[in-house]
Structure 1
Amino acid sequence: MDSQTLVVKIGTSSLTHPQSGDLSLSTLASLVETLTRLRRRGYRPVLVSSGAVGVGCARLGLSDRPRRLATKQAVAAVGQGRLMRVYDDLFTSLQQPIAQILLTRQDFVRRNSYVNAYNTFQELLRLGIVPIVNENDTIATDELKFGDNDTLSALVASLVEADWLFLLTDVDRLYSADPNRDPNAKPISRVGHLNDLDNLEVGNSRSGWGTGGMQTKISAARIATESGVRTVIASGNVPANIEKILAGEELGTHFEPQVKTETARKRWIAHSLIPHGKIYLDSGATIAVCEGGKSLLAAGVVKIDGDFQADDAVTLCDLSDREIGRGVINYNSRDLAKICGVRSEQIPEILGDRARDTVVHRDNLVLLDRGQV
C-alpha cells in the first residue's frame, strides 16, 4: 500500500465552462472519483481548488470577474459555499469525508500559524480525510495575497512535505512556446532544473475567470521542487491521468525535485516569508556564508535597502545584486545602518544593549540556488 502525499491543484479554467463560468460537473465528478480511489489505495491526497470567484460570478449573474477588492471578496464568499456544497455532495456519494481549509498568506508568514496548519493537515490525513484548500479570498488583502492558487498549492506542498504536486490546467503539458500561437511549439516532457527554462516564452491565462497562467505554474514548480517535491503540469480535463502518471506513464511535464532544504524551518524561511529588505554583502562575507556555512556578521555588510524590523525576513545579495539567500534578521534597518562594516567587538559601543552576536545567524539563513526561489 502506498503512503505518498499528493497535492493536486485544479484551476478555474478546468473547473468551469469558459463562457458562462458554470461548474463543469463532469470534470468535478472525475476528479472526486480519482482522489477517492487514490485515498483508498493508501495515498494521502490534498486538493487545492480554485473556482470560488468564478462560481460566485455565475451565481450572481456577473459577466466579468470583479476588479474591486470588496466586490471580489463578496463574490468569493458566495462562490466558496456553493463550491464546497458540490464537492461535499460528490465525495459523500462515495463515502469519502472531506474538510475545508481556507488560508491567507499571513498563515504562512507567522511561524505559529504555519506549525498549526502543518499539524492540522497531518491529523486530517491520518484520519483518512481529503482536505480541500483555497485562499481565504473573503478576508485576504492585496498586500498579503498568494496572487494565484499555483503559488498556494506549491506552499501547501512544501508545508505538508508532499511527494508530488500536480498542477492541473487547460493544456496537457508545458511547450517551448504558446501552442495556440506557434504551430512549431514543441512539448517538454521533463525539466531537470528550472534554470533550463530561463529563455522560454510562456503565456498567461486565456480564461476570463482564472488568475494564473503558465508563468505562475513555473514559479510554483520552483517553490515545490526546491522543497523536494516532484511537480507535474498536466491536463485538468482528464483527472484520471494522475493515476496513470503515478503508475509511470509519460504524461504531462515533470519537474525533477531538487535537493531538499534540510529543515522545515528553513523551508519556511525560503518560501513562506515575505522579504522586507535587502542586505548587500562584500565578497568575503559572500564566500563565508555561501561556502563556509557561516553566519552573517555586520563587518561583511556593505549596504542595506528597505525598512525592516528585527525578526523580519530579508534578502541577501552579493555586490552584483545577485540574490544568494534569505534569512531572518536580528536588527532593524535603523540599527543595522549604523553598524555596516563594523567589527563585532565595536558594536556594543554603538548600540549598547541592542547589540547582537550576528546579523543573520546561520540557523536562520537559507542559501538559494543561483539567486532563484
Structure 2
Amino acid sequence: MAELAFQPLPAWHRAVIKVGSNLLAADGGGLTPVYARALAAFIGDSQAQGREVVLVSSGAVAAGRALLRERAVPAGDLAERQALAALGQAPMIALWQSLSTRAVAQVLLTHDDLRNRRRYLNARATLRQLLAIEVLPVINENDTVAVDELKLGDNDNLAAIVAALVDADLLLIASDIDALYRADPRRDPDVAPIPHVAEITPEVMAMAGGSGSVVGTGGMRTKLQAAQKAAAAGIATALFNGRDAETVRALGEERLRGTLFTPGQSRMQARKYWLLHAPGGNASIRIDAGAANALAGGRASLLPGGVVEATGDFHRGDLVDVVDPDGRVVARGLCQYGAVDVRRLAGRHSRDIDGVLGYSYGPAIVHRDDLARVSS
C-alpha cells in the first residue's frame, strides 16, 4: 500500500471531532479505551492550549448490547436499538469522563432539534456555554426517542451539522481507515490514498465503499457526505485513522496523515446554511411558475399570491420545502404561517391576510431573510 505523507493541518480554534463505534467497541461488543485514550489525550492537550473541542461519539448501542450479552438481545428493529442505546449511554459517557481532564456533558440531539429553528438556536447556545465554562460536550443522536423515518441515521452527518451549529473551524473524523482511497484498500493493497480533495464531485463520491464495521452505521459515503456539508459552511474536514497512535499524536503537532477536504467557498451565512442542510420533514408549499421565477432571483419573499397549496402539517416558524409546478424543491424556508393558514391564504393578496385570518404576521408566507434557494 502506498505511503501516506504528513501534511499541515489547517489552523483552528474550535473543532468538532467524530469518533465512531469501530474505534470504541471491543471484539466482544463492549467499550474499550484502547483507541479512545489517544484521542482523549489529543482533546485534552488541545483544550490546555486554549482551543475548544466538541466530541460526537458513537458507541451507546454497542455498550448496551455488551451489558446484556448473556441475554443475546438483538439490535434489529428500532425499538430494540432504542433500548440498547438507552442502556449504553451511561457507560459510553463514563468512558469519556474517565479519559477526560475536564468535566464531560452529555448532549443528545434529535432530528427535530436540528429542524426546528428555535430548538436549533437553543442547542447552539447551550453548546457555546458549555465550551465557555470549559466543559467537553459529548454529542450523540437521541436514539431512544427518534422514529425511524426521522432519524439522522449516522454520526458523520450529525458531526457536520454540529460543526456548523457551533461555528467550528475544523471537522475531524476519526476512522478505522487511513484516508480516502480510489478503491477499497482492503481488497486492492496497491491502491493509492488521496491526501487532498478540493471538491467532492460525483467521481469522488463514487470512490466510497460500504461500511467496514459490523458495529457502525456509517461507511465512507457518509464521511464524504459530512465533508460536503462542512465544506458548504466553509469548514475543512480531516479524515484520519484513529487507531494509529502516531497519526493521532501528530494532530497535536498540527500535522495530518489522512485526507484533507478543503472548502471551495467562503463560509455560508449560518442561517442560510441551516435552512439548506437541516433535516427536512414532510411539509411543503407548492408555488406557481411566477413565484418560482421570482424566487430564482434570490431576493424575493414568497407571497400568498404565488402559493398553490400546502402539504403536510406544519406550524408557524417550521422549516418547509418550497416546490415548483414540476415538483422540484427550489427553496427551503421558515414559514410565517401554519399549514391551515397557508391553505386559506393561497392565491390571495398580502393585503387580504388580516381580513382572511383576523390577524397578520406580515405580508410574506416566507420572508426572503428566512429563505434559501436550492441549487439546481
Report the TM range for the smaller structure's normalisation.
0.7 to 0.9
Alignment check: 8 A CA contact 1:232 1:254 kept = yes
Alignment check: 8 A CA contact 1:53 1:65 kept = no
Report which stretch shifted further, 59-68 or 218-227.
59-68
Q: Output the CA distance in 1 between the equivalents of 2:251 and 2:162.
A: 21
Q: Output the CA distance in 1 between the equivalents of 2:245 and 2:330.
A: 38
Matched, 1:169 2:178: no
The equivalent of 1:357 in structure 2 is 363
* Alpha-carbon distance change, 338 to 237 in structure 1, aligned in 2, over 3 angstroms: same
TM-score (norm: length of structure 1): 0.84
Structural mapping, 1:91-110, within 5 Å:
91=100, 95-110=101-116
The equivalent of 1:262 in structure 2 is 269
Q: Output the CA distance in 1 between the equivalents of 2:131 and 2:145.
A: 26
Report which stretch shifted further, 57-66 or 167-176.
57-66
The equivalent of 1:276 in structure 2 is 282
Q: Output the CA distance in 1 between the equivalents of 2:297 and 2:28.
A: 55
* Alpha-carbon distance change, 278 to 247 in structure 1, aligned in 2, over 3 angstroms: farther
* Alpha-carbon offset, residue 293 of structure 1: 0.8
Structural mapping, 1:1-373, within 5 Å:
4-17=13-26, 19-61=27-69, 66-91=75-100, 95-181=101-187, 186-197=192-203, 200-238=206-244, 241=247, 244=250, 249=255, 251-257=257-263, 258-263=265-270, 265-272=271-278, 274-301=280-307, 305-333=311-339, 335-337=341-343, 340-345=346-351, 351-353=356-358, 357-368=363-374, 370-371=375-376
Alignment check: 8 A CA contact 2:242 2:248 kept = no
* Alpha-carbon offset, residue 274 of structure 1: 2.6
Q: Output the CA distance in 2 between the equivalents of 1:175 and 1:244.
A: 21
* Alpha-carbon offset, residue 347 of structure 1: 6.2
TM-score (norm: length of structure 2): 0.83
* Alpha-carbon offset, residue 177 of structure 1: 3.5
Alignment check: 8 A CA contact 1:7 1:153 kept = yes
* Alpha-carbon offset, residue 119 of structure 1: 2.3
Which whole-Å deviations, capped at 9, do the CAs of 1:116-146 have from their partners, x for residues lacking one? 3222222222222222222233333334432
* Alpha-carbon distance change, 277 to 182 in structure 1, aligned in 2, over 3 angstroms: farther
Q: Output the CA distance in 1 between the equivalents of 2:63 and 2:329.
A: 40
* Alpha-carbon offset, residue 348 of structure 1: 6.6
* Alpha-carbon distance change, 127 to 354 in structure 1, aligned in 2, over 3 angstroms: closer
Q: Output the CA distance in 2 between the equivalents of 1:194 and 1:341.
A: 41
Q: Output the CA distance in 2 between the equivalents of 1:104 and 1:305.
A: 23
Give the secondary structure class of the aligned counterpart of 1:78. helix
Report which stretch shifted further, 223-232 or 247-256.
247-256
Give the secondary structure class of the aligned counterpart of 2:138. strand
CA RMSD of aligned residues (A): 3.1
One-letter code aligned to 1:71: E
* Alpha-carbon offset, residue 272 of structure 1: 3.0
* Alpha-carbon offset, residue 89 of structure 1: 1.9
Report which stretch shifted further, 98-107 or 167-176.
98-107
Alignment check: 8 A CA contact 1:34 1:240 kept = no
* Alpha-carbon offset, residue 267 of structure 1: 3.6
Give the secondary structure class of the aligned counterpart of 1:194. coil
One-letter code aligned to 2:358: D
One-letter code aligned to 2:98: D
Q: Output the CA distance in 2 between the equivalents of 1:189 and 1:285.
A: 45
Report which stretch shifted further, 66-75 or 182-191.
182-191
Give the secondary structure class of the aligned counterpart of 2:83. helix
Q: Output the CA distance in 1 between the equivalents of 2:246 and 2:73.
A: 31
Report which stretch shifted further, 338-347 or 161-170.
338-347
One-letter code aligned to 1:217: K
One-letter code aligned to 1:86: L
Q: Output the CA distance in 2 between the equivalents of 1:311 and 1:327.
A: 9
* Alpha-carbon offset, residue 325 of structure 1: 2.2
Q: Output the CA distance in 2 between the equivalents of 1:314 and 1:161.
A: 24
Alignment check: 8 A CA contact 2:304 2:349 kept = yes
* Alpha-carbon distance change, 315 to 176 in structure 1, aligned in 2, over 3 angstroms: farther
Q: Output the CA distance in 2 between the equivalents of 1:247 and 1:286.
A: 51
Report which stretch shifted further, 244-253 or 134-143.
244-253
Query: How many residues were matched structurally?
Result: 363
* Alpha-carbon distance change, 303 to 243 in structure 1, aligned in 2, over 3 angstroms: farther
* Alpha-carbon offset, residue 213 of structure 1: 1.7
Identity %: 37
* Alpha-carbon offset, residue 199 of structure 1: 5.6
* Alpha-carbon offset, residue 283 of structure 1: 4.8
* Alpha-carbon distance change, 323 to 172 in structure 1, aligned in 2, over 3 angstroms: farther
Q: Output the CA distance in 1 between the equivalents of 2:86 and 2:13.
A: 33
Report which stretch shifted further, 234-243 or 204-213.
234-243
Alignment check: 8 A CA contact 2:205 2:221 kept = no
One-letter code aligned to 1:140: A
* Alpha-carbon offset, residue 318 of structure 1: 4.1
Give the secondary structure class of the aligned counterpart of 1:26. coil
Gapped regions of structure 2 (runs ≥ 5):
1-10
Q: Output the CA distance in 2 between the equivalents of 1:272 and 1:103.
A: 12
